[in-house]
């Protein structure tokens, strides 16, 4: 069984994977795998961008997203007449002829990976470039994989991929995705600690986040900055200590990363 491995720690957000997908599929049908993708409105490979935190403590994450070729695919369950099927290699495909008029296939995907083609009256999505895998082509991997120059996306036999420490998107859906991610962003709390009396930043302050989810520590650097990284979504008490002074603040990472800005320790 094949799988995709997407290493977000290496992605630079150049969108070449997305462009390669467009180049492969726009105005070009690969029947019986797929009708042509329209030039606008569809992104079978889509690079999402997230800006996290608050200035000046901000991080940007790029995340290539696509059909997850789920083992337990809701789109397959919603399709009539076998219009969605899973191949022996694990790729989930929509049969363009059988899927005509079946909007419920698009509506069933919890990842919103399926698009509707109004002109052809069909649902469409990533095919894993099955036409390249099956055919006698100079490229024998999905086009997004071939287009990425920093090897963020790997496609191959699951047993041969290093999936240690990887995660899938929304495992709670129970869909068993076959697209695995390394480096999915976790929450952070950051800030700059300063001494208002001395009008100086403080280097070496101990910062501790405690809560039901555990305890995390960091130390302020020569800019007075601290970064508590890889935090679970939770409520925290953040305590800052230095030179006999101590300050605690309540911070939540349930819905977003937190850039606390300048924090006076007095
Ligand atoms: Fe179907 Fe959506 Fe899963 Fe792809 S990600 S297999 S379209 S349910
Ligand atoms: Fe990221 Fe590679 Fe896609 Fe560029 S081509 S956005 S580096 S996955």
SS3 per-residue string spanning 168-224: CCCHHHCCCCCEEEECCCCEEEEEEEEECCCCEECCCCEEEEEECCEEEEEECCCCC
180-210 pLDDT tens trace = 999 999 999 999 999 999 999 999 999 999 9
Give the domains, in start order, of the chain with CATH numbers. 2-182 (3.30.70.20), 187-264 (2.60.40.10)
Ligand that lies nearest to the alpha carbon of residue 181, given by its number in the listed order? 2
The ligand that comes nearest to the alpha carbon of residue 8 is 2
Ligand 1 centroid distance, CA of 93 (Å) = 9
User: Ligand 1 centre from 70 Cα, in Å?
Assistant: 6
Element (H, E) at 76: helix 74-78
Percent of the chain with pLDDT over 90: 97
Q: Is 193 in the pocket of ligand 1 (CB under 6 A)?
A: no
Q: Determine the pLDDT at residue 185.
A: 93
- Reduced to 3 states (helix: H, G, I; strand: E, B; else coil), residue 136 is coil
If you count DSSP H runs as helices and E runs as strands, how many of each does the chain have, helices first?
Answer: 5, 17
Ligand 2 atom nearest to 20, measured from its CA: 5
Residue pLDDT, tens place only, 8-58: 999 999 999 999 999 999 999 999 999 999 999 999 999 999 999 988 999
For residue 145, report the distance from its CA to the centre of ligand 2, in Å: 9
Average pLDDT over residues 139-150: 94
């Amino acid at each position: 069984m094949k799988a995709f491995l997407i290493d977000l720690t290496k992605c630079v957000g150049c969108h070449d994977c997305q462009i390669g997908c467009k180049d492969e599929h726009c105005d070009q049908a690969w029947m019986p795998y797929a009708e042509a993708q329209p030039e606008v409105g569809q992104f079978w490979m889509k690079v999402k961008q997230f800006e996290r935190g608050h200035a000046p403590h901000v991080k940007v994450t790029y995340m290539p997203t696509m059909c997850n070729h789920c083992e337990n695919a809701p789109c397959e369950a919603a399709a009539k007449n076998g219009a969605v099927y899973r191949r022996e290699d694990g790729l989930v495909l929509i049969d363009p002829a059988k899927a005509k008029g079946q909007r419920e296939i698009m509506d069933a995907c919890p990842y919103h990976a399926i698009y509707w083609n109004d002109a052809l009256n069909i649902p469409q999505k990533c095919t894993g470039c099955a036409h390249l895998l099956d055919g006698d082509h100079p490229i024998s991997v999905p086009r997004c994989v071939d287009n990425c120059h920093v090897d963020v996306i790997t496609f191959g036999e699951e047993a041969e991929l290093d999936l240690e420490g990887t995660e899938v998107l929304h495992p709670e859906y129970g869909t068993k995705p076959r697209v695995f991610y390394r480096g999915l962003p976790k929450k952070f709390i950051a800030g700059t600690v300063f001494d208002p009396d001395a009008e100086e930043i403080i280097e070496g302050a101990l910062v501790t986040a405690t809560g039901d989810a555990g305890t995390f520590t960091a130390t302020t650097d020569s800019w007075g900055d601290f970064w508590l990284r890889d935090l679970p979504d939770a409520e925290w008490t953040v305590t800052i200590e230095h030179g006999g002074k101590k300050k605690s603040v309540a911070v939540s990472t349930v819905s977003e990363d937190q850039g606390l800005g300048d924090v006076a320790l007095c």
